[in-house]
Amino acid sequence: MNGQHRIERIEVLPFAIPLTGTVKFATGTLSAAEHLLVTVHTDSGVTGTAEAIPRPMIYGETGVSLAYAIETLIAPALMGMSIFETAQIEHRLRHLAGNVAAKSSVEIAIFDAIGNALGVSCHSLLGGFAHDVRCTAILGSGDAATLIAEVDELHDTLGITSLKVKVGLDVTKDIELVTRVREHSPQAVIYVDANHGFTAAEAIRFVRATEGMLDWIEEPCAAEEVLGRAAVVSASTVPVLGDESCITTREVVNEVLGARSSMIGLKLQRTGITQSQRIREFCTALGVPVLVASQGDSGIGTNVSASFAAAQASTATLPAELAYFLHLENDLMTVPPVIRDGRLAVSSQPGFGIAIDKDTLNHYRTDKD
Ligand code: MG
């Protein structure tokens, strides 16, 4: 053995963990976390693990297409490579268009393997700036009273004081909703995500009416409304965060330099490690705030996102969306993440600290009866 830890096999196992309630998105509803467990095996016996999250309404990938892409396109391209050849691995992954979650999950699993091989946490390998991260919770839908009850529960049980409110369906009601939540929580970090639900004109009305109430505003109107989106950024006194308009590095560069986004949300599940690092450094160099956002990660992805967020100052000093795993009735890891005083402590175990409980996995995997 020459210490190279060459990739021998990539294993993909589908699993489904029910959510404790239905989670509503602008693009649909979810009642279970139907993800894939991706394990990279090397010739030394060292392995690395990640999860892949299908989001057909955003990226076009399904559970079936994710597994197919990993098994028939990605695994053959990476067979025999050392896990340390990360630049070459990313170069080869770039020759497969799209398939963002498939490529990211494999790259994350390879970084986990690197940490496992070295006996060092990925958090340390990526910079080790802070040891915990402030968590944002994404509030469910409902009227102001429902949301305020949820805000109180998050505060009282977990100490969470950073809140994201989903808006974008009715600008008048949304202004009222934000006003009520801000009155209730004057000290909290509060931002909204409209998921392109407003027109640019509505978004301008919204940013003017909520001036002084929000910390930033996510995806107020469609990226396709190119000039309108730039006008919203100009009209807003707080940053406009790009999420689904800025998936790839090229999109981030175009949206930021075109002044259509002035803050960026990174999702490890769609840009992996190398591309996420490139986006973070680009933003940091320009003084554009960048935070780590959620793709609906289970505890596995949460460990990865938290390690990445805490590793560098730019992302460690902003709250990260790390609370979604609380919606899952269980977790595949032997030691799931914990939120205390509104913060999530980063794993100091080798890799991303992902130790899978085999019995729990057997219970939730969906590839056998
Ligand atoms: Mg979003």
Domain boundaries along the sequence of the chain: 7-119+358-364, 124-345
218 is catalytic: yes
Please state the φ and ψ torsions of residue 268, each to the nearest 5 degrees: -60, -30
* Architecture of domain 7-119+358-364 in this structure: 2-Layer Sandwich (3.30)
pLDDT reported for residue 21: 83
For the residues 195-218, what does the mean pLDDT come to? 97
For the residues 102-111, what does the mean pLDDT come to? 98
295 is catalytic: yes
In the reported structure, the alpha carbon of residue 28 is separated from the centroid of ligand 1 by a whole-number distance in angstroms of 13
Identify which of 103, 88, 117, 100 has the alpha carbon closest to the alpha carbon of residue 10.
103
pLDDT > 90? residue 322? yes
For the residues 67-86, what does the mean pLDDT come to? 97
243 is catalytic: yes
Choose the catalytic residue: 218, 219, 225, 297.
218
Residue 92 tokens read as: 């080869």
CA distance 240 to 218: 6
Q: What is the DSSP string of 169-183?
A: S-HHHHHHHHHHHHH
Confidence of residue 151 (pLDDT cuts 50, 70, 90): very high
In the reported structure, the alpha carbon of residue 175 is separated from the centroid of ligand 1 by a whole-number distance in angstroms of 18
Choose the catalytic residue: 202, 243, 255, 321.
243
In the reported structure, the alpha carbon of residue 230 is separated from the centroid of ligand 1 by a whole-number distance in angstroms of 18
* Architecture of domain 124-345 in this structure: Alpha-Beta Barrel (3.20)
Strands 343-345 and 240-242: what pairing? unpaired
pLDDT > 80? residue 25? no
Identify which of 326, 298, 296, 321 has the alpha carbon closest to the alpha carbon of residue 308.
321
In the reported structure, the alpha carbon of residue 217 is separated from the centroid of ligand 1 by a whole-number distance in angstroms of 10
Choose the catalytic residue: 295, 297, 331, 349.
295
pLDDT reported for residue 261: 98
In the reported structure, the alpha carbon of residue 263 is separated from the centroid of ligand 1 by a whole-number distance in angstroms of 12
For 165: left if phi > 0, alpha if psi spans -120 to 50, otherwise beta; the answer is beta
Residue written as token pair 């396709």: 224
Choose the catalytic residue: 267, 269, 297, 321.
267
Residue written as token pair 């990313």: 90
219 is catalytic: no
In the reported structure, the alpha carbon of residue 55 is separated from the centroid of ligand 1 by a whole-number distance in angstroms of 13
173 is catalytic: no
For 109-136, the pLDDT digits (tens) are: 999 999 999 999 999 999 999 999 999 9
CB 127 within 8 A of CB 311: yes
In the reported structure, the alpha carbon of residue 140 is separated from the centroid of ligand 1 by a whole-number distance in angstroms of 13
164 is catalytic: no
Identify which of 34, 100, 77 has the alpha carbon closest to the alpha carbon of residue 249.
100
In the reported structure, the alpha carbon of residue 242 is separated from the centroid of ligand 1 by a whole-number distance in angstroms of 8
CB 134 within 8 A of CB 159: no
pLDDT reported for residue 2: 72
Count CA atoms closer than 13 A to 202's CA, side-chain side: 19
Choose the catalytic residue: 61, 107, 174, 193.
193
Sheet containing strand 162-166, edge to edge, reads: 136-138, 162-166, 189-193, 216-218, 240-242, 263-266, 290-292
In the reported structure, the alpha carbon of residue 122 is separated from the centroid of ligand 1 by a whole-number distance in angstroms of 26
In the reported structure, the alpha carbon of residue 252 is separated from the centroid of ligand 1 by a whole-number distance in angstroms of 14
Residue 257 CB partners (closer than 8 Å, separation 6+): none
Query: Is 0.85 topped by the overall pTM?
Result: yes
pLDDT cut 70: percent of the chain above it: 99
Choose the catalytic residue: 103, 107, 164, 166.
166
